[in-house]
């Protein structure tokens, strides 16, 4: 039988078929907090993620949003920072505190069997933090040193400068942290920010894992009360003030590589061209076999990795190409990037390449629903923009049906 | 409990199958028992360079990535000191494409001279991006040859210097492939909604005909016991002083391994770790501090790294760190503290198996260690460690003459 094996021939390709997007169970606590549950997986673990509109968009001074989130676990009404970390670590659980531009996230990861011990700790840090001054001085010092180390990295410099050039340094999406900003934020700023942004009217909960019955009662007990209601706040609007100058060079003495960022303004997830841009982006730099990777890495060896991405935000969004190239080939690399951008506008994508990208993106969506934590990550994107699962169904539909002409039109529109 | 089936093909390829019907994704992991420890000292970084070449085309298939992407799959690989690991995920109904691709590159490689030249450049850029053009990026490259004098762990998988990569020749690549990339030197794991009979048939069909080849039988130089403390001081363009300490520890197969691993957790896992509480919070000498084990299969290193707060002297910081090391040698840990780090291991094991790909990678690794069943018994092995084991292992490791220290000093 083996003699008949034709190794030159790709085995029959079966169509991927429909993706069954998981439908979370959606409920509401009595104070209005929405709870999304993804009950799946094979491991006896759970994640409880609390999403707050508490990203850097809402801060008055740089560093406030991030510092507030990190400080939640540094002392509460009933626990010192040390006691809190000892209790958490004893049960093998951990917190993840992440602050992005629109939202801030506080996530508990725990074994199910210890949830009755670990969930109260999540309640403590979210509802009762006290922001002790001495703990804050340690944290601020640590963050300052981490920032100074990051500022030695070309990719960090390119990223922060790119955002500031695009949105303007006064805009929350463009603002970047300078070392002296850290000293200007004190713990009363954090107390104020916490009061304003971390409350039940500003919160969503996402639970994922092998969820035990009774979880809603537990969540209700810790988070469902009216004891942490906040004031309604006005939504802040900002004007972008990006630079008119199109090229910016920043010299870093002794660097062996140049970090490059090229891009422009784009839109949020609900924009009608969002799905098409995902496809266009994939062709250009959204996967290993993309044009940028093929050209700059696999053909020329200029870089270890280069890619592009569409970054949707609540109030806008942007598109960016990013990579680090050998310092000696910076000019050549820029020429090739421009060549690839022009090619998207000047010629329609071929059928073979387009079908490859369709398959790749469909597979990527399948991987994005693989396992409870992946599902929670995926769905979180929707919650942020008040979208539902039909957004992904529309996205897949576009991936399967957009044609070369539509993609070229989109490229021309975006250039 | 991760259940699995195991069988071996006539050519020695070991195959492990894990059934998980909860996902449409199937993971395939192929581990080759060759790592940077198998390299010639003049050609370090070679195993990793070779990993890149494995994507440059095989005897019947000109490109590896594209056909996989065409069926919605994705892949990657990594090389460490001990082994080289290739992994992919693919929507289950197109699993045969993965068998086709992976068996062809186990059968024979056929990459072009151009691909070879380009990948040498790509790897040099990787070297720069991750090690040379990063603050503190070369610390490991300096620490290894300080701690190891003869064993090949003295160089990192990326290599000693980019020039080793630049000098690699096509003939050396062919020899390397012949020596190591053989079925009897590989472990394959398939995890997902699959049946063992189906995987048996596919394995026979695609891998069964490949020549057995040679087993990698290592005769590596044995690192002599370190008899005096070593140190190295370097000055670099970084914002803060840093300190790196490495003690020789036992091998992965030794019983003491589990105690050593728990010691690293006692010192620095989570924010309740001793080093974090004492040296960052209480004494405010460091801004970051970590203790970890290198995790190598042969006798590895127990490492502590820390960045100093600006203005703190190296001597003061090192003394305080040494006091914590002395403390764990001179006094028994409490039952509660030991239980804490054991609980952590249990949780970490559960969280390390969230996706089929995680499970496939873990099974392959434990099979290389000696038995895939370890995935289910490991937590137990940690649970058996006693307070006295911790103390004995700490005393054995943390002898001053067993330590190498790198002082990494900010130039300005």
Contacts of A117 in chain B (CB under 8 A): none
Q: How many domains does chain A contain in total? A: 2
Give chain A's residues under pLDDT 50: 1
Contact B272 A82 (CB under 8 A): yes
Q: Measure in Å the smallest separation between the Cα of A260 and chain B Cα atoms.
A: 13
- β-bridge partners, B248: B301
- State both tokens at B248: 């020789």
User: Do A197 and A270 fall into the same domain?
Assistant: no
Closest by Cβ to A10, choosing from B100, B126, B354 = B100
ipTM of the complex: 0.94
Report pLDDT for A232.
64
Largest CA distance in chain A: 77
Report pLDDT for B198.
98
User: Do A177 and A262 fall into the same domain?
Assistant: no
Q: In this structure, is residue A6 part of a structural domain? A: no
Give chain B's residues under pLDDT 50: none
Interface test with B, best of A21, A43, A121 (most B CBs within 10 A): A43
List of residues 6+ apart from B11 with CB closer than 8 A: B183, B184, B207, B208, B210, B211, B212, B213
- State both tokens at A11: 């085995």
Closest by Cβ to B340, choosing from A89, A109, A138 = A89
Q: In this structure, is residue A4 part of a structural domain? A: no
Contacts of A14 in chain B (CB under 8 A): 93-94
User: Do A298 and A184 fall into the same domain?
Assistant: no
Residue B17: name the closest of B191, B186, B198 by CA: B191
Q: In this structure, is residue A3 part of a structural domain? A: no
Q: Measure in Å the smallest separation between the Cα of A31 and chain B Cα atoms.
A: 32
Q: In this structure, is residue A229 part of a structural domain? A: no
User: Do A216 and A269 fall into the same domain?
Assistant: no
Please name the residue that has the structure tokens 């991750």: B130
Within an 8 Å CB–CB cutoff, is residue A289 touching chain B? Answer: yes
- State both tokens at B155: 């160089």
Query: What DSSP character marks residue B183?
Result: G
Instruction: Give one DSSP letter per residue of A84-137, joined into a string.
Output: HHHHHHHTT-EEEEEE-SS-EEEEEEEEGGGHHHHHHHHHHHHH-B---HHHHH
Q: What domain range includes position A35? A: 25-223
Report pLDDT for A3.
56
% of chain A residues with pLDDT over 70:
98
User: Do A208 and A350 fall into the same domain?
Assistant: no
Which of A178, A204, A223 lies at the terminal end of a domain, its last residue?
A223
List pLDDT tens digits, range B177-202: 999 999 999 999 999 999 999 999 99
CA-nearest residue of chain B to A353? B70
User: Do A367 and A271 fall into the same domain?
Assistant: yes
Q: In this structure, is residue A396 part of a structural domain? A: yes
Contact A11 B97 (CB under 8 A): yes
Residue A257: name the closest of A152, A165, A174, A179 by CA: A152
User: Do A208 and A312 fall into the same domain?
Assistant: no
Contact B91 A16 (CB under 8 A): yes
Report pLDDT for A74.
98
- Kindly list the strands in the beta sheet with B403-410, ordered across the sheet, starting from the edge strand earlier in the chain: B230-236, B403-410, B242-248, B301-308, B286-293
Closest by Cβ to B65, choosing from A110, A289, A359 = A289
Which of A223, A239, A266 lies at the terminal end of a domain, its last residue?
A223
Contact A2 B353 (CB under 8 A): no
| B181: Cα within 13 Å, side-chain hemisphere | 23
Q: What is the CA radius of gyration of chain B?
A: 23
User: Do A276 and A366 fall into the same domain?
Assistant: yes
Q: In this structure, is residue A200 part of a structural domain? A: yes
Give the integer Cα–Cα distance in Å for A397 and A376: 22
Report pLDDT for B216.
87
Report pLDDT for A116.
97
User: Do A156 and A282 fall into the same domain?
Assistant: no
Please name the residue that has the structure tokens 């990579």: A323
Within an 8 Å CB–CB cutoff, is residue A351 touching chain B? Answer: no
Q: Measure in Å the smallest separation between the Cα of A313 and chain B Cα atoms.
A: 27
Cβ-contact A284, A290 below 8 angstroms: yes
Which of A172, A207, A223 lies at the terminal end of a domain, its last residue?
A223
Contact A88 B270 (CB under 8 A): yes
User: Do A219 and A294 fall into the same domain?
Assistant: no
- State both tokens at B204: 């026979």
Give the integer Cα–Cα distance in Å for B38 and B80: 11
Contact B72 A92 (CB under 8 A): no
Q: In this structure, is residue A235 part of a structural domain? A: no
Cβ-contact B218, B39 below 8 angstroms: no
- State both tokens at B74: 């994705």
What residue ranges define each of the domains in chain B, with the CATH number in brackets? 5-207 (3.30.830.10), 230-410 (3.30.830.10)
User: Do A209 and A316 fall into the same domain?
Assistant: no
- State both tokens at B173: 């690549």
Give the integer Cα–Cα distance in Å for A61 and A192: 12
Please name the residue that has the structure tokens 């019947």: B60
Contact A82 B354 (CB under 8 A): no
Report pLDDT for A1.
47
Report pLDDT for A235.
67
CA-nearest residue of chain B to A293? B122
Alpha carbon A16 to its chain's center = 27
- β-bridge partners, B191: B18, B27
- State both tokens at B405: 């220290």
Interface test with A, best of B265, B350, B362 (most A CBs within 10 A): B350
What count of CB pairs under 8 Å joins A to B? 221
Q: Is the pTM here over 0.90, yes or no? A: yes
Cβ-contact B283, B215 below 8 angstroms: no
CATH code at position A89: 3.30.830.10
Contacts of B310 in chain A (CB under 8 A): 145
Q: In this structure, is residue A145 part of a structural domain? A: yes
User: Do A139 and A261 fall into the same domain?
Assistant: no
Helix, coil or strand: residue A69:
helix
């Amino acid at each position: 039988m083996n003699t008949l094996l034709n190794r030159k021939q790709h085995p029959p390709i079966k169509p991927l078929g429909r993706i069954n997007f998981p439908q979370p169970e959606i409920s509401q606590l009595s104070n209005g907090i929405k709870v999304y549950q993804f009950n799946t997986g094979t491991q006896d673990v759970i994640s409880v993620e609390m999403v707050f509109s508490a990203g850097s968009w809402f801060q008055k001074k740089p560093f406030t949003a991030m510092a507030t989130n990190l400080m939640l676990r540094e002392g509460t009404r009933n626990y010192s920072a040390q006691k809190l970390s000892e209790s958490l670590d004893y049960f093998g659980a951990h917190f993840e505190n992440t602050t992005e531009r629109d939202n801030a996230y506080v996530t508990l990861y725990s074994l199910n069997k210890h949830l009755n011990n670990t969930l109260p700790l999540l309640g403590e840090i979210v509802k009762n933090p006290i922001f002790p001054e001495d703990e804050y001085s340690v944290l601020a010092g640590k963050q300052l040193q981490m920032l100074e180390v990051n500022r030695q990295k070309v990719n960090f410099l390119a990223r922060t400068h790119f955002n500031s050039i695009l949105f303007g340094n006064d805009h929350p999406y463009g603002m970047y942290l300078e070392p002296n900003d850290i000293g200007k934020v004190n713990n009363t700023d954090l107390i104020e920010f916490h009061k304003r942004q971390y409350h039940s009217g500003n919160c969503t909960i996402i639970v994922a894992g092998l969820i035990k019955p009774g979880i809603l009662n537990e969540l209700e007990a810790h988070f469902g009360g009216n004891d942490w209601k906040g004031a309604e706040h006005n939504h802040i609007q900002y004007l972008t003030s990006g630079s008119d100058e199109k090229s910016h060079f920043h010299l870093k003495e002794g660097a062996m590589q140049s970090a490059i960022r090229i891009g422009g303004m784009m839109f949020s997830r609900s924009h009608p061209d969002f799905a098409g841009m995902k496809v266009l982006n994939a062709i250009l730099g959204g996967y290993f076999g993309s044009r940028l990777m093929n050209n700059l890495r696999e053909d020329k060896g200029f870089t270890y990795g280069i890619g592009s991405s569409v970054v949707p935000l609540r109030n806008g969004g942007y598109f960016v190409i990013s990579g680090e190239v050998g310092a000696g080939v910076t000019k050549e690399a820029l020429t090739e990037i421009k060549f690839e951008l022009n090619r998207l506008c000047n010629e329609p994508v071929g059928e073979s390449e387009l079908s490859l990208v369709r398959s790749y993106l469909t597979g990527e969506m399948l991987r994005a629903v693989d396992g409870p934590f992946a599902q929670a990550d995926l769905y979180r994107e929707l919650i942020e923009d008040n979208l539902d699962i039909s957004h992904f169904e529309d996205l897949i539909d576009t991936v399967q049906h957009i044609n070369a002409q539509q993609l070229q039109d989109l490229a021309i529109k975006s250039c | 409990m991760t259940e699995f089936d195991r069988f071996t093909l006539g050519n020695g390829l070991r195959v492990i199958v894990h059934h998980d019907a909860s996902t449409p994704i199937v993971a395939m992991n192929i581990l080759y028992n060759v790592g940077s420890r198998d390299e010639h000292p003049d050609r370090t970084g070679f195993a990793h360079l070779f990993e890149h070449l494995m994507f440059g085309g095989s005897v019947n298939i000109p490109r590896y990535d594209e056909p996989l992407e065409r069926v919605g799959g994705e892949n990657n690989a990594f090389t460490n000191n001990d082994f080289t690991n290739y992994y992919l995920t693919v929507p289950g109904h197109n699993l045969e494409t993965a068998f086709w691709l992976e068996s062809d590159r186990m059968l024979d490689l056929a990459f072009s001279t151009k691909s070879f030249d380009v990948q040498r450049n790509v790897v040099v850029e990787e070297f720069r991006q991750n090690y040379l053009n990063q603050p503190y990026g070369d610390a490991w490259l300096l620490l290894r040859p300080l701690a190891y004098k003869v064993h090949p762990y003295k160089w990192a998988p990326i290599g000693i210097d980019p020039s080793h990569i630049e000098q690699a020749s096509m003939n050396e690549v062919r020899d390397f492939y012949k020596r190591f990339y053989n079925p009897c030197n590989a472990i394959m794991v398939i995890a997902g909604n699959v049946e063992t009979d189906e995987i048996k048939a596919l394995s026979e069909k695609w891998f069964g005909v490949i020549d057995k080849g040679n087993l990698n039988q290592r005769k590596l130089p044995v690192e002599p016991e370190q008899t005096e403390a070593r140190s190295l001081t370097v000055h670099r363009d970084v914002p803060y002083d840093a300190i790196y300490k490495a003690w020789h520890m036992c091998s992965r197969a030794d019983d003491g391994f589990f105690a050593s691993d728990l010691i690293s957790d006692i010192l620095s896992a989570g924010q309740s770790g001793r080093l974090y509480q004492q040296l960052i919070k209480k004494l405010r000498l460091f801004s970051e501090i970590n203790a970890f084990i290198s995790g190598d299969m042969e006798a590895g290193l127990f490492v502590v790294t820390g960045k100093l707060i600006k203005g703190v002297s190296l001597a003061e910081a090192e003394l305080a760190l040494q006091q914590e090391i002395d403390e764990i040698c001179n006094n028994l840990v409490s039952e509660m503290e030991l239980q804490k780090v054991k609980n952590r291991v249990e949780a970490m094991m559960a969280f390390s198996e969230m996706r089929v790909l995680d499970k496939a990678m873990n099974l392959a690794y434990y099979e290389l260690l000696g038995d895939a069943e370890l995935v289910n018994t490991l937590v137990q092995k940690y649970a058996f460690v006693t307070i006295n084991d911790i103390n004995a292992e700490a005393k054995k490791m943390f002898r001053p003459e067993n330590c190498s220290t790198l002082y990494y000093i900010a130039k300005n």
